[in-house]
Amino acid sequence: MKLHLSDEDVAFREEMHDFFTTQIPQHIRDTVAARRELTKEQIVESVQAMNAAGIAVPNWPVEWGGKDWTPLQRHIWHEEMQLASVPVPLAFNHSMVGPVIAAFGSQELKERFLAKTANLDIWWSQGFSEPDAGSDLASLRTTAVRDGDDYLVNGQKTWTTLGQYGDWIFTLVRTDPDVKKQAGISFLLIDMTSPGVEVRPIELIDGGHEVNEVWFDNVRVPAENLVGEENKGWDYAKFLLGNERVGVAPVGSTKRTLSLAKEHAKTAGPGGTSLLDDPLLAAQVADLENELLALELTALRVVANSADGKPHPASSVLKLRGTELQQAVTELIVDLAGPASLASGAGEDSDVPEWARVATPNYLNFRKASIYGGSNEVQRQIIAGTILGLRG
């Protein structure tokens, strides 16, 4: 199996590198590189720059703005974006609801939503998780009861990431309570300005506001906002989650973060000395670099085996190991910052360098990585059953 790039793919990589390092505004790339929180406006500006160049939604059908790229080219696009400190396009729009509407939505829904979704003129939120459901997504209790030309929606969603910016929310709702739980679910699009929709913030352990609760109190939703067929929503959700797990091994961004950690280590010792001379730290860094290289090669093997466009079962390995390494590197930076990592509340006039001030919030924030997109425990079950053939 060839793991080196062809001349054509090398040229493609250079094309992507040139675009991301020259066409995405520097202030956005600086924000990502410094691991500061992006504003909504920065995310929209970055996506619209990519969409103007026709490379925001390469995974979509060509007629709706996609590119006829190979899986390897899409992988290169994603990696070069991260290496250039460019925020990846909003997953809720570009990896989740967009492909679902393109594959299963009516022509009216496609024409109404896809162009605006690609350009982030509409900011989508995800309405899947519910209280008390844990990882059992099918245990949802939010109901949608048909009432004339509308559905009447009642219930609650939780962990709705960036829901405070949402214009619309795609939801799984129970439309038939009398059948097997997976068979009574529908996929409904809801305008978040509708009467009865309320977004409540959840304060996180790092002090940030990234996730929310979304409540629905007798919300009227036109039946034309149903995607596909009623009670077939579980099939569309599985399609969406399969797409979500593509690109879940953030090798590019983790390599960039590890490179920054090595730069910080050069002056993080007593009196501004280098910690890279410490054999234990040097061994830790070398171990992470080797693990990232192994993950990068595994990602290429997965891409090579996904030529039919379907997610490969080994994507669970990428999700599992990718998030573990992502968390390990954020923990390394906290260790390098030492006591200064406690200064997360310090202002710009602090003597503590910015990288040390953001070390702990970033470390805490990335604890989520092993939970979202299918928890790592779920990925281990998939690996055991699907790849290793270990049935319980």
Predicted pLDDT at 81: 96
CA–CA distances in Å: residue 104 to residues 107, 167, 187, 227, 240? 9, 21, 10, 6, 11
Q: Would you say 184 and 167 are in contact if contact means Cβ atoms under 8 Å apart?
A: no
What's the confidence (pLDDT) of residue 241?
A: 78
- pLDDT, position 62: 96
pLDDT the model gives residue 208: 80
Residues of the chain under the 50 pLDDT cut: 1
- 20 burial type by CB count under 10 A (0-12 exposed, 13-18 middle, 19+ buried): buried
Q: Which residue of the set 79, 80, 213, 244 is catalytic?
A: 244
SS3 of the chain? CCCCCCHHHHHHHHHHHHHHHHCCCHHHHHHHHCCCCCCHHHHHHHHHHHHHCCCCCCCCCHHHCCCCCCHHHHHHHHHHHHHCCCCCCCHHHHHHHHHHHHHHCCHHHHHHHHHHHHCCCCCEEEECCCCCCCCCHHHCCCEEEEECCEEEEEEEECCCCCHHHCCEEEEEEECCCCCCHHHHEEEEEEECCCCCEEEEEECCCCCCCCEEEEEEEEEEEEHHHEECCCCCHHHHHHHHHHHHCCCCCCHHHHHHHHHHHHHHHCCCCHHHCCCCCCHHHHHHHHHHHHHHHHHHHHHHHHHHCCCCCCCCCCHHHHHHHHHHHHHHHHHHHHHHHHHHHHCCCCCCCCCCCHHHHCHHHHHHHHHHHHCCCCCHHHHHHHHHHHHCCCCC
Would residue 130 show up in a list of annotated catalytic residues for this protein? no
pTM recorded for the entire structure:
0.88
* Residue 44 CB-density burial (10 A; 0-12 exposed, 13-18 middle, 19+ buried): middle
What's residue 220's pLDDT?
Answer: 98
